[in-house]
Amino acid sequence: MSWLFRLKPGASIRTNLLVAALMWSFIGLYLIVRGYLLHVLLPGIFWALALGLGTLKARFVIERAARKNITRIVARPDGMCLGGVYSWGMWGMVVCMMLAGRLLRNSAVPSLVVSVIYVAVGWALLLSSRLIWQEWNARRTLR
């Protein structure tokens, strides 16, 4: 078992926070761009709706998950596996969200609606990632 332990991609708490922040940010940006590309001529009212819904989702749902994730990462000792940056439940949620996005994209739902949903969810992730970035930055000054 010790050889397996040596192969584990262990990292510091700060690196785990960086990976989590990058993932939330990049996935958020990806969804915003994907939503834009689904309906390039997205009218301003729909952008406002998507950003408003995304802000509400961030405030009441995603930020709670981000704080829980930060607490989990910080509670773990240095050198823990990068794959453990999220709990098994969170990884399961990631897979479910990917499947839901794929089903939505391939459904009969109009592209304008899918576009608004993608932009809203992407904005919620991007907005909430700031909490992880703040913790990552705070850890820089703790050294």
pLDDT digits (tens, 9 = 90+) for 99-134: 998 898 899 999 899 999 999 999 999 999 999 999
Q: What is the amino acid identity at position 88?
A: W
Confidence of residue 7 (pLDDT cuts 50, 70, 90): low
- As a whole number of angstroms, the distance between CA 39 and CA 101 comes to 15
6 inside domain: no
| Per-residue pLDDT at 34 | 93
Q: Which of 113, 115, 133, 114 is closest to 125 using CA atoms? A: 133
Residue at 3 is within a domain: no
Residue range(s) defining the domain that contains residue 31: 11-141
Residue 127 domain-assigned?
Answer: yes
Total domains present in the chain: 1
Which residues contact residue 83 at a Cβ distance below 8 angstroms, ignoring those fewer than 6 apart? 9
Q: How far, in Å, are 5, 40, 43, 118 from residue 86 at the CA level?
A: 19, 33, 36, 22
Q: Give the side-chain half-sphere CA count within 13 A for 63.
A: 12
Within-domain flag for 5: no
* 4 found inside a domain: no
pLDDT tens digits along 68-83: 999 999 998 888 878 7
* Residue 34 belongs to some domain of the structure: yes
Q: Where are the alpha helices (DSSP H) in the chain?
A: 2-7, 13-38, 44-57, 63-75, 88-105, 111-141
Examine residue 28 and state whether it is found in any structural domain, yes or no: yes
